[in-house]
Amino acid sequence: MTPILDRLNRPLHDVRISVTDRCNLRCGYCMPRSVFGEGFQFLPHSELLSFEEITRVCQALLACGMRRVRLTGGEPLLRRDLHRLVAMLAALEGIEEISMTTNGTLLRSKAAILKEAGLSRVTVSLDAIDEKVFQSMSDSRMPIAKVLAGIEEATAAGLAPVKVNVVVRRGVNDHCVLDLAERFRGRPETVRFIEYMDVGETNDWRADEVVPASELIAAINARWPLTQVSRARPGEVASRYRYLDGAGEVGFIHSISQPFCGSCDRIRLSSDGKLYTCLFARSGHDLRAAVRSGASDAQLVREIESIWRGRVDRYSELRSERAGGDEVGRRLEMSYIGG
Ligand code: SAM
Ligand code: SF4
Ligand code: SF4
């Protein structure tokens, strides 16, 4: 199949699917309680794509070159019977990998059934090892032990290698970085430190809260010397480093300081069925309307193809050049569009 390329010559390989806009945590950088509090109106169930609808969209995406699916949210494990969706996607011809990003709090009891259904691996978000910092960052009383148990069970179930994602905010959890690295050194899981991004409109993002990955690499290297290893594949977002003492790897996602739009091969499907060609997109393409009004498979493929062919997004590369105020519409929240 000739790959379908966007206007910057990028193929479509990955889709991130937000299966729910709800979450059981309230991380301040993603779903601050001041906005996502008691009165917040989440999407009613009837507006969410059903598993059958998601599978149909994925089938059309496969015809456009997509090969890998990541389930995310919100918190994907809040969606009932998620393993059923995994099994339906795993049965599609051409799918190479199904993975999931989760906060890990509900993972322990579900890891085995998800693996059995066809999930390949998971990424678990965990911003601190210190209980107080974790609970303050997730604005919850969630015991950190639940997340750690979820990580252990995922590794034991073979959803491996588990990646542990840490969003670093200066003055909030940057003092936890060495502890986090130490906790997972010598273990099968790999920690990845992520630069705090200006996603959405609700987190009051400030550039001075971003800790450049280079600073973290220097700090970790000073304690446990590192050597850089090459990326696993083009489009891989993390830079990878190996501990010289053989204790495994650590990764860094330089979304702000070294944007990777040039190799961005991801599309996003929101929980209500809109397709977005960038994490920072302000408008999406309503595939739910097409699916629910009886579009044929061929029509769906044509629609996706034309969306991808017209894609010019490179928000992160333009961020530094942009002179504010030139954007139209509200930026979408990560919990909705799928982190
Ligand atoms: N609830 C799941 C979780 O936390 O893993 C999945 C959804 S969450 C939106 C996906 C990922 O986005 C998480 O790793 C989270 O830390 C990350 N994330 C959310 N807001 C972010 C921000 N402003 N900057 C960088 N990463 C962010
Ligand atoms: Fe929930 Fe994940 Fe967002 Fe935290 S980062 S509020 S766990 S969706
Ligand atoms: Fe891809 Fe948009 Fe992120 Fe650039 S800013 S890497 S185009 S999602």
- Establish if 200 belongs to a structural domain: yes
> Residue 324 maps to which CATH number?
3.20.20.70
The DSSP annotation for 257-280 comes to TS--GGG--EEEE-TTSEEESSTT
Q: What percent of the chain has pLDDT over 70?
A: 97
- Establish if 7 belongs to a structural domain: no
Residue 319: band (very low, low, confident or very high) from pLDDT cuts 50, 70, 90: confident
Lowest mean pLDDT among 98-112, 115-129, 137-151, 219-233: 219-233
- Establish if 82 belongs to a structural domain: yes
pTM, whole model, 2 decimals? 0.95
Overall domain count for the chain? 1
How many A from CA of 30 to the centre of ligand 1?
7
Q: Residue 102 in contact with residue 130, Cβ under 8 Å?
A: no
- Establish if 43 belongs to a structural domain: yes
**Residue range 221-237: average pLDDT?**
89
Compute the C-alpha angle 223/229/234, nearest 5°. 135
CA distance 242 to 21: 36
Quote the domain boundaries for residue 100. Answer: 14-337
- Establish if 4 belongs to a structural domain: no
Strand partners, 124: 102, 164
**The predicted structure's pLDDT at residue 134:** 98
Q: Which atom of ligand 1 is nearest to the CA of 29?
A: 23
How many A from CA of 28 to the centre of ligand 2?
9
Single out the residue of 300, 264, 305, 307 nearest to residue 3, CA to CA: 305
CA distance 189 to 192: 10
pLDDT in tens, 6-24: 999 999 999 999 999 999 9
How many A from CA of 116 to the centre of ligand 3?
32
C-alpha dihedral over 122, 127, 130, 132, to 10 degrees?
Answer: -120
Count Cβ neighbours within 10 Å for each residue of 10-24 and write b for 16 or more, e otherwise.
Answer: bbbbbbbbbbbbbbe
Query: How many CB atoms within 10 Å of residue 218?
Result: 11
Residue 322: band (very low, low, confident or very high) from pLDDT cuts 50, 70, 90: low
C-alpha dihedral over 44, 57, 287, 70, to 10 degrees?
Answer: 60
For ligand 3, atom 6, the nearest C-alpha belongs to: 261
Strand partners, 68: 14, 97
- Establish if 2 belongs to a structural domain: no
pLDDT in tens, 265-310: 999 999 999 999 999 998 999 999 999 999 999 999 999 999 999 9
**Is residue 93 classed as helix, strand or coil in its secondary structure?**
coil
Q: Residue 128 in contact with residue 106, Cβ under 8 Å?
A: no
In this predicted structure, the answer to whether residue 184 has a pLDDT above a threshold of 70 is: yes
Q: Residue 213 in contact with residue 253, Cβ under 8 Å?
A: yes
- Establish if 1 belongs to a structural domain: no
- Establish if 278 belongs to a structural domain: yes
- With the most atoms of ligand 1 within 8 angstroms of its CB, the residue from 30, 36, 168, 237 to mutate is 30
Residue 325: band (very low, low, confident or very high) from pLDDT cuts 50, 70, 90: very low
**The predicted structure's pLDDT at residue 323:** 43
